Amino acid sequence: MQSPNLIRRIENNQSTLRKSEAKVASFVLDNANAVIRMRIVDLASSSGVSEPTVIRFCRAIGFDGFQSFKLQLAQHLSLGDVFTQFAVDDKDTIADLRNKVFDTTVGSLLTVRDELDVVALETAITTINQAKRVEFYGVGASGSVAADAQHKFFRLQVSTAAYTDPHIQHMSAISLGKDDVVVAISQSGQTQALLQSVRLAMEAGATVIGIAPQNTALSELCSISLYVNVEEDLQAIAPVSSRIAHLVVIDVLATGVARHRKPQLKNHLKRLHKSQNALRTTGSS
């Protein structure tokens, strides 16, 4: 499936393009704002290729010609869909850092939003809603997402738990059954301990929902896969956008389950709110 995010689509297809077409792709990725004001002859000249090569490039990434390609590129730029992982410069002001962190995170969320399969989302929501028990597995940074998910679904009267220790995950997995669900969360989709837990859960009969990048071991193994494709330079000073994207995907799932359970949740949430207020200091928010 072609990514709806045009920049991501170009990046994904770059390795399969002909050498001359790849030159156009590289120029577009480096000069997206300038390209929307170019004629086809300008892009060809700037890329060091012929005009027919520009047309072939456009067709290779799913367009019938240069104008339709340029129109969608302009739409992406106007909507703020083109963001890249930022690089911190020693000369950056605090305002620069603020803008870079927020812009990168917002761009990542928009890309994940557009690439999430609504059919897979609906299936995941229905499966969680009907489950006897739901367990969230995450290791490392994904462990905090699992803990947050457990808290959200606990409020919805879902029998749930979150495990971040691989040994506990293994013990939990073998105790599950066909009416139970595991939500496995991974930024890399390759964590071996998590994959072993998922296999044990599936062998026990449980349904496993994976939140991980596409074409990874975890996303290919799970019963239902929700793809979160966020590339990060782990050596750089940068926000962990994938963790934030995972949290938002959890929010989507929780909101979907809450909608299914709205009638029976109304009084429960009122009582919950009342009990929480009793724990707060008088006059606090």
The tens digit of pLDDT for each residue in 39-95 reads 999 999 999 999 999 999 999 999 999 999 998 888 777 665 444 555 667 788 999
- 65-69, 122-126, 149-153, 268-272: lowest mean pLDDT where? 268-272
119 vs 235, which has greater pLDDT? 119
Domain 115-273 has CATH 3.40.630.10: no
Q: Quick one: average pLDDT of 128-132?
A: 96
Structurally, at CATH architecture level, domain 6-78 sits in Orthogonal Bundle (1.10)
Please list the residue range(s) of the chain that carry CATH number 1.10.10.10.
6-78
- By three-state DSSP, how is residue 184 classified? strand
Please list the residue range(s) of the chain that carry CATH number 3.40.50.10490.
115-273
Q: How far apart are CA 251 and CA 66, in angstroms?
A: 39
Average pLDDT of the chain to the nearest whole number: 87
Q: Which two tokens stand for residue 276?
A: 């929480």
Number of H helices, E strands in the chain: 14, 5
Q: Which pTM value belongs to this model?
A: 0.71
